[in-house]
Amino acid sequence: MTMVTDSSVVPGIGRIGDPGEVEPAEFGHLSEFFDPFLVPFAIDTLRVGGEVWVSRSEVGIDGLFLYVASERFGSIFTLSPAIAEAFSTFHPGASIFSDFPFGPSSEVFGMYRASLDDSPDPHRYSHRVRAAEESDRDDVLGLMRNVHGVVDERWFASLLREGETCFVVDGASELAGTGWVSVAGRSARLHSLTVRPRYRRTGVGTDLWQARVAWARNAGARDVLTEISDHNLPSRAIAEAGGMRRVGEIYRSVRA
């Protein structure tokens, strides 16, 4: 791997500048939950113009830091508190996900997981859920901005991506809801479930959850995970009703 090392930052930490430099074999065990997704995360971050930093030791990559300046949002993956601490100082004021909390005001996100080995319970859909097409791109982006505010549109350059599917539910004249599912090997991850406020409490979120789990199962995943803020009671209710159980936690912190 060619790395742009910057020893003025921290020895052993360097920046990757191109997706071709992301070599899966070099990634060690960095996360109890996200190991299968780290390579796609890194490539996606580079695709949207973000920063990818790695920490290296003699055993390979032992820390990964992904950062997107437009959203002031980053994620640290490492088992080492010292490496996490080093990465956390790179962008003061940014919102950083990590296995380690930085400071007392961190927001706790529960990690929820379900096994897909058992036969699924039948689900009676209230809405028609469909896989998004490229022509839905502007509507999906509009929905995400309506609910989440600042969203970097480069994440949505393509809705049709290998290993990931975006699902949507149509409303009367606009999209009612959307959500993504990624599959890497035998693991699946649900993310970005979003329902437009006026369509909430009608089962859209539950239907999107069920459709994504069914897709993951058909794609060969044997377990599915998602991260949910402890403040997000609706999402927890949907995940738990779908058989997910809390298996750990991560933190979102803002480094002073």
Site for ligand COA, residues 139 to 168, rule: CB under 6 A: 147
Q: Decide if residue 178 touches ligand COA (CB under 6 A).
A: no
CB of 189 to ligand COA, least distance (A): 11
**Which CB sits closer to ligand COA, 52 or 181?**
181
8 Å CB contact between 18 and 49: no
- Rank residues 129 and 159 by Cβ distance to ligand COA and give the closer one: 129
Which residue number has the CB closest to ligand COA?
A: 205
Using the rule CB under 6 A, which residue among 94, 232, 240, 254 binds ligand COA? Answer: 232
Q: Which of 195, 216, 225, 250 binds ligand COA (CB under 6 A)?
A: 195
Binders of ligand COA: how many residues, by CB under 6 A? 18
Instruction: For residue 202, state whether it binds ligand COA (rule: CB under 6 A).
Output: yes
Is there binding between residue 12 and ligand COA (CB under 6 A)? no
Scanning residues 203 to 222, which ones bind ligand COA (CB under 6 A)? 203-206
Picking from 86, 89, 40, the residue whose alpha carbon sits closest to that of residue 63 is 86
The token pair at 126 is 């209230």
∠ CA(195), CA(197), CA(198), 5° rounding?
A: 110
Q: Does 88 bind ligand COA (CB under 6 A)?
A: no
Name the one range near ligand COA by CB under 6 A: 54-62, 129-137, 229-237, 248-256: 229-237
Record the tokens describing residue 190, joined without a space: 């649900």
* Distance between CA atoms of residues 213 and 189, nearest Å: 9
Q: To 5 degrees, how large is the angle CA 178–CA 184–CA 186?
A: 110
Stretch that binds ligand COA, among 32-40, 48-56, 92-100, 230-238 (CB under 6 A): 230-238
Residues in the site for ligand COA, rule: CB under 6 A?
Answer: 147, 193-195, 200-206, 228, 232-235, 237-238
